Amino acid sequence: MHTPYRRLAALLAPDEISDNAALLTDQRRRYTGRADLLLQPRDTESVRKIMRFCFERRLPVTPQGGNTGLCGAAVPQGGVLLNLGRLNRIRSVSTADNALTAEAGCILQNVQDAAAASGRLFPLSLASEGSCQIGGNIACNAGGLNVLRYGTMRDLVMGLEVVLPDGELVSHLAPLHKNTTGYDLRQLFIGSEGTLGVITAATLKLFPLPQTRETVWAGVGSIAQAVELLALVKSRFGERLVSFELVGRYALELSSAFCRAAPPADAPWHVLLELTDSESRADLGGLLAECLLENGFDNSVLAQSETERRTLWALRENISAAQRGLGASIKHDIALPIARVAEFVKRCGAALQAAFDGIRIVVFGHLGDGSLHYNTFLPGVSDNGVYAFENAVNDIVYAHVLACGGTIAAEHGIGQVKRHRLSQVRSAAEIALMKAVKTAFDPHGIMNPGKLLPD
Amino acid sequence: MHTPYRRLAALLAPDEISDNAALLTDQRRRYTGRADLLLQPRDTESVRKIMRFCFERRLPVTPQGGNTGLCGAAVPQGGVLLNLGRLNRIRSVSTADNALTAEAGCILQNVQDAAAASGRLFPLSLASEGSCQIGGNIACNAGGLNVLRYGTMRDLVMGLEVVLPDGELVSHLAPLHKNTTGYDLRQLFIGSEGTLGVITAATLKLFPLPQTRETVWAGVGSIAQAVELLALVKSRFGERLVSFELVGRYALELSSAFCRAAPPADAPWHVLLELTDSESRADLGGLLAECLLENGFDNSVLAQSETERRTLWALRENISAAQRGLGASIKHDIALPIARVAEFVKRCGAALQAAFDGIRIVVFGHLGDGSLHYNTFLPGVSDNGVYAFENAVNDIVYAHVLACGGTIAAEHGIGQVKRHRLSQVRSAAEIALMKAVKTAFDPHGIMNPGKLLPD
């Protein structure tokens, strides 16, 4: 170990130093980094001590949460790997304020559970909720399943506690719904992927627990018809609409075979939608079914039991697993204006078919918030070979996304994997402003170097 | 007119130059400013032309919307007054995306009307909605009546078009619910009070129109009991809860006499609450009344008609008018954690009584989002005399707000009036970061000098 890192280690308790090399590789095993020192501080004060030392010596620091990111943002390229996993206390819950204060290292599911134990819902929900951490969710502005009703992580954060690169603490954890006192610096940390400071705690919004849940699978003739259905259900049922998932015929075929369950409907496109209500209401399912029928959406099934509901969701949730049989894929984290999803799917599909003969495209996603999973399979290409085609496929996909007013990074962030593409969605003036913000917060460039911003 | 301003005027169409001196005084007639040139550009391109010129010549520019601000943020201190009122087109409405794109100078009520004409709700609502403008609402992160359900303006902005101080255009108006591509610069403009650039257009979120509305007036024994009622109704009825107003006995007495309407209940504290639902539901009022009764809130009245509903709201809305008979007042734009409102009212009231013999305090506000109107009347002090006591009263009020984890600027902003107090709610490190952000965006300090940030 180099001298400064040895000195830093000596300032800390022995159990704050880790030798867990697994932390250096990301979940997808796409990136393996290196670090001079792996730290797992016990508390915010210890984070401050580490940052003060690193700031003075100009040592790079990469903050890390549950290490479930998909863009390599938490994989260090030398220096200190600062894993926040031990800052894992739920500090407080206020039912009067519908707010919960959690430390950055709390696992998302533990936060959901703590809210439920107080009779409240914390709505952020995503595939890795059993291991991802709140600090990481904030640092990448996580999205997930419930954005349609509850927004992204940005919408769920009422307050932050942050350690600045020089060790200074900025703490605003009071649950305030209205507060306009200068530039909202908190918003910069949300989605900054550890490049501006270290998030150590957050005050999060809570909601009433659902008492009623109704789930429908509907076959529709086109994406345009799915968009009509969305507008209909949203206008009628308002915030009750919590999920509105689009599934293409091909995706359903794969998943149906994988689950050994018959498709609930025969149609080119499918919608899985769910309503929840904080009231106990026996009539909600009937009202929903009636609303669909009256408006011509008659190729649909209302789940009559929790078992039927789970079967419908299994068809949606197993698409990713089911498609693995197709070989290696190039996946996309994109979002579009809802009104333009149909146009994108048509045009981009045609362009990909023209460029890559035999390409298979599995289309599904959260139509309710405009984000799509758009997975492309090149026949006969093995796992390792797929990256050779990645740029060529992405050039086509992203060009169509941008032509339709969409974004190339909806909810996974930029990290290492899309750094070189940031200039496709942000102008030179904007990137210059981002770099100036970065310099203001992190004058020595020690926070998570090599991530998010292009060189 | 000084030479550079004459040159600037010559670059513009004659109808882009104004001589309306009324724009130099704020709504409350507290501040009267001065300007070398009053401009009302026709479109975004004209704003760019003006900014490019002012950037090169280092001329100060004060953006202005409807000039309804309460903190003097839109009153110029020389240079160009840039009134955005002519950028008043609704550019588009997308019902599929529940989004509307409006230019900055659109009057709030016109945006509400355009949304309603498309069968949607734009929920921002505040007293000056007939004259305030969307750009100003964004620049000061307006709050108002519906924050409990729909959030502040920050929560309602999906995209912004901004002209930077050097004339560069940054435009992201596509309705995207998920988009994490670098630092969210948009959030800096929201609440920046015209100090970072000129907002020229915005894409706003729309919601379903309410079809059902139920209103209750409830007398309660204490603020703590009002907070219990809030938790009860919110848990049960979720997002349907759109208003939850607290009214003190004294405020009700004043308003009741002013309106010549009997108080709906006899109690030390009162709550006016309202539910709305996008569904047509005959039973909602009954469910609400039953829920209150079952939980011991039996001193309450459910409005049985639109006339009864309006009478209840008149008692709330006329408090400001009714209290004018008490003389000159010192008002506060504060917000607190809901769980601590009772403690604040008790302690701050006692401290004010001890310091100012005979002081009368009118307490009411949006308990549902923690913000309070806290109006203090010094007996025998005339309108002009009141400002002599302002700092002394505010010192006491703000000390108690801060001790309870609250904020001294909930929804009106900082402007000129609270500049010297920003350091009470933001640390030196935070203010230094804000100044660095300001320098990054506005290197020559031409944007709205003398506002928001302390010297």
Contact B445, B413 (CB under 8 A): no
Task: Encode pLDDT of B3-27 as tens digits.
Answer: 999 999 999 999 999 999 999 999 9
B131 Cβ neighbours under 8 A, 6+ residues apart: B66, B68, B107
Nearest to A231 among B96, B408, B429 (CB): B96
Domains of chain B: 3-83 (3.30.43.10), 90-208 (3.30.465.10), 212-322 (3.30.70.2190), 327-413 (3.30.70.2740)
* SS3 category, A191: coil
ipTM above 0.95, yes or no: yes
Residues 6+ positions from B6 with CB-CB distance below 8 Å: none
Q: What are the tens digits of pLDDT across the range B253-273?
A: 999 999 999 999 999 999 999
β-bridge mates for residue A362, sequence order: A375
Query: Is B239 in the A-facing interface, judged by CB distances under 8 Å?
Result: yes
Taking the C-alpha atoms of residue A422 and residue A408, their distance in angstroms, rounded to an integer, is 9
Residue matched to tokens 């039973």: B283
Q: What is the mean pLDDT of residues A389-393?
A: 94
Q: Do B433 and A425 touch (CB under 8 A)?
A: no
Contact A429 B170 (CB under 8 A): yes
SS3 at position B10: helix
Residues of B in contact with A275 (CB under 8 A): none
Q: How many CB pairs under 8 A join A and B?
A: 263
- The nearest alpha carbon in chain B to A369 belongs to B177
CA distance B257 to chain A (A): 31
- Find the CB nearest B188 among A96, A183, A207: A183
B208/A239 Cα distance (integer angstroms): 9
- What would the pLDDT profile of B203-237 be if each residue is shown by its tens digit? 999 999 999 999 999 999 999 999 999 999 999 99
Contact B209 A235 (CB under 8 A): yes
Query: Does the pLDDT at position B384 exceed 90?
Result: no
Percent of chain A with pLDDT over 90: 93
Residues 66-105 of A with CB under 8 A from B: 94-99
Per-residue pLDDT tens over the stretch A295-344 = 999 999 999 999 999 999 999 999 999 998 888 889 999 999 999 999 99
Work out the average pLDDT over B29-38: 95
The answer for residues whose C-beta is within 8 angstroms of residue A133's C-beta and 6 or more apart is: A65, A66, A84, A85, A88, A104, A105, A106, A107, A108
Reported as a single tens digit per residue, the pLDDT across A380-389 is: 887 778 889 9
Structure tokens at B95: 């019902």
Whether residue B180 and residue A148 make contact (CB cut-off 8 A), yes or no, is no
Cα gap A263→A253, rounded to integer Å: 7
Cα dihedral A426, A429, A434, A440 in deg (nearest 10):
180
Alpha carbon of B379: minimum distance to chain A alpha carbons (Å): 31
Arithmetic mean of pLDDT, A250-260: 96
Report residue A358's pLDDT band, with 50, 70 and 90 as the boundaries.
very high
pLDDT above 90 for A349: yes
The tens digit of pLDDT for each residue in A400-411 reads 999 999 999 999
> How confident is the model over B44-94, as pLDDT tens digits?
999 999 999 999 999 999 999 999 999 999 999 999 999 999 999 999 999
Split at pLDDT 50, 70, 90, the class of A80 is very high
Average pLDDT over residues A6-31: 95
Tell me: pLDDT of B172 over 80.
Answer: yes
Neighbours of A30 (CB within 10 A): 14
Nearest to A337 among B174, B405, B427 (CB): B174
Instruction: For Cα atoms A386, A392, A393, give the angle at the middle one, nearest 5 degrees.
Output: 70
CB contact under 8 A, B183 and A410: no
Return the pLDDT at A234: 97
**A315 contacts A259 by C-beta, under 8 angstroms:** yes
Whether pLDDT at B153 is above 80 = yes
DSSP conformation letters of A21-54 = GGGGB-TTS--B-B-SEEE--SSHHHHHHHHHHH
- CA B182 to chain A, closest CA, distance in angstroms equals 6
Q: Do B191 and A183 touch (CB under 8 A)?
A: yes
Q: Residue B424 is encoded by which pair of tokens?
A: 């009470």
Q: Is B354 helix (H, G, I), strand (E, B) or coil?
A: helix
Q: What is the rounded (10 degree) CA torsion for B67, B72, B73, B79?
A: 90
pLDDT at B327: 81
Say which of B94, B140, B182 has its CB closest to residue A422. B182
Q: What is the pLDDT of residue B325?
A: 83
The answer to whether residues B109 and B125 touch, using CB atoms and an 8 Å cutoff, is no
Residue B1 has pLDDT above 80, yes or no: no
Summarize the confidence of residues B124-130 as an average pLDDT. Answer: 95
Average pLDDT over residues B299-317: 96
Condensed to tens digits (0 to 9), the pLDDT of residues B157-170 reads: 999 999 999 999 99
Å between B358 CA and nearest CA of chain A: 31
Do residue A338 and residue B175 have CB atoms under 8 angstroms apart? yes
pLDDT value at residue A2: 82
Paired strand residues for A163: A169, A198
B414 interface with A at CB cutoff 8 Å: yes
pLDDT in tens, A175-185: 999 999 999 99
Candidates A187, A426, A439; nearest CB to B187 = A187
B159 has a chain A CB within 8 A of its CB: no
- Does the beta carbon of B252 lie under 8 angstroms from any beta carbon of chain A? no
Question: Residue A37, by phi and psi: left (phi above 0), alpha (psi -120 to 50) or beta?
Answer: beta
Taking the model in full, what pTM does it have? Answer: 0.97
Q: Is the pLDDT of residue B383 over 80?
A: no
At A325 the pLDDT is 83
Show residues of chain B in contact with A239, CB under 8 Å.
238-239
Q: Which residue of B has its CA nearest to A223?
A: B96
**Once rounded to an integer, what is the mean pLDDT over residues A146-154?**
97
